[in-house]
Structure 1
Amino acid sequence: MGRFFIGAATAAHQVEGDNIHSDYWLLEHLPHTSFAEPSGRAVDHYHRYQEDIDLLADAGLNAYRFSIEWARIEPEEGKFDEAEIEHYRSVIRYCKQRGVEPIVTLMHFTSPAWLIRKGGWENPGVVEDFAKYCSYVVKELGNELSYVCTINEANMRLQVSAIAAMFQKQMMAKAALMQQAASGERVGGEQTEQKSREEENGNGEGMAQVGMNFRSMMENRRLQEAENLEAFGTKDPACFVSACTKEGDELVMQAHRAAREAIKKIHPTLKVGLTLSLHDLQVVEGGEDRAKKEWEDEFSHYLKAIRDDDFFGLQNYSCMKIGPEGSIPVEE
Structure 2
Amino acid sequence: MTHPSLPDTFLWGVATSGHQTEGDNDAADTWFLEHTTPSLFREPSGPACRSHQLWETDLDLAAGLGLNAFRFSVEWARVEPERGVVSAEALDHYERVVDGCLERGLAPVVTFSHFTAPHWFAAAGSWTAADAPDRFAAQCDRVMARFGDRIAYAVTLNEPNLEQLLQAGAKLPPEAEALKNRMLGAAAQAAQCRVYASANVIPAHRQDEFQAAFTRAHRAARAAIKGRRGDVPVGVSIAIADEVAVPGGEERRDAKRAAVYDHWLREARDDDFIGVQNYERIVHGPDGEVVVDDELNGMGTVIAPGSLAGAVRYAHQVSGVPVLVTEHGIQTADDAQRAAFVPAAVRELVAEAGTGTPVLGYCHWTLLDNFEWIFGYGAQLGLYEVDRATFRRHPKPSAKAYADVVRGHRGALTAPR
Q: TM-score, length-normalised on structure 1?
A: 0.80
2:269 is the alignment partner of 1:269: no
Q: 2:127, 2:217 within 8 Å by CA — same for their partners in 1?
A: no
The percentage of aligned residue pairs carrying the same residue is: 36
- CA distance in 2 between partners of 1:132 and 1:225 (Å): 26
Which aligned pairs between 1:123-138 and structure 2 lie closer than 5 A? 123-138=129-144
1:84 matched residue in structure 2: 90
How far residue 324 of structure 1 moved from its aligned partner, in angstroms, is: 2.1
Unaligned runs of 5+ in 2: 1-6, 295-417
> The residue matched to 2:217 in structure 1 has which SS?
helix
1:112 matched residue in structure 2: 118
Match of 1:220 among 179, 192, 200: 179
Which aligned pairs between 1:1-332 and structure 2 lie closer than 5 A? 2-162=8-168, 166=170, 204=171, 214=173, 217-221=176-180, 223-224=182-183, 227-233=186-192, 237-241=196-200, 242-243=202-203, 244-332=206-294
- CA distance in 2 between partners of 1:230 and 1:162 (Å): 30
2:356 matched residue in structure 1: none
Q: 2:125, 2:195 within 8 Å by CA — same for their partners in 1?
A: no
Q: Deviations over 1:211-260 (max 9, x none)?
A: xx655533535653552232344576321012333132021111111111
Say if 1:304 and 1:280 are closer, same or farther in 2 by CA, change over 3 A. closer
Q: What is the total number of aligned residue pairs between the two structures?
A: 285
Amino acid at match of 2:179: N
- CA distance in 2 between partners of 1:319 and 1:285 (Å): 16
> The residue matched to 2:157 in structure 1 has which SS?
coil
- CA distance in 1 between partners of 2:251 and 2:196 (Å): 34
RMSD of the TM alignment (CA)? 2.0
When Rg is computed on C-alpha atoms for both structures, the one with the higher figure is 1
2:373 matched residue in structure 1: none
Q: 2:40, 2:180 within 8 Å by CA — same for their partners in 1?
A: no
> The residue matched to 1:31 in structure 2 has which SS?
coil
How far residue 45 of structure 1 moved from its aligned partner, in angstroms, is: 0.3
> The residue matched to 2:270 in structure 1 has which SS?
coil
Unaligned runs of 5+ in 1: 167-203, 205-212
Say if 1:21 and 1:110 are closer, same or farther in 2 by CA, change over 3 A. same
Higher helix proportion? 1
How far residue 53 of structure 1 moved from its aligned partner, in angstroms, is: 0.7
Which 4+ stretches in 1 moved above 6 angstroms?
none
Amino acid at match of 1:61: L
Indicate the larger mover: 44-53 or 283-292.
283-292
- CA distance in 2 between partners of 1:108 and 1:290 (Å): 30
- CA distance in 2 between partners of 1:248 and 1:93 (Å): 35
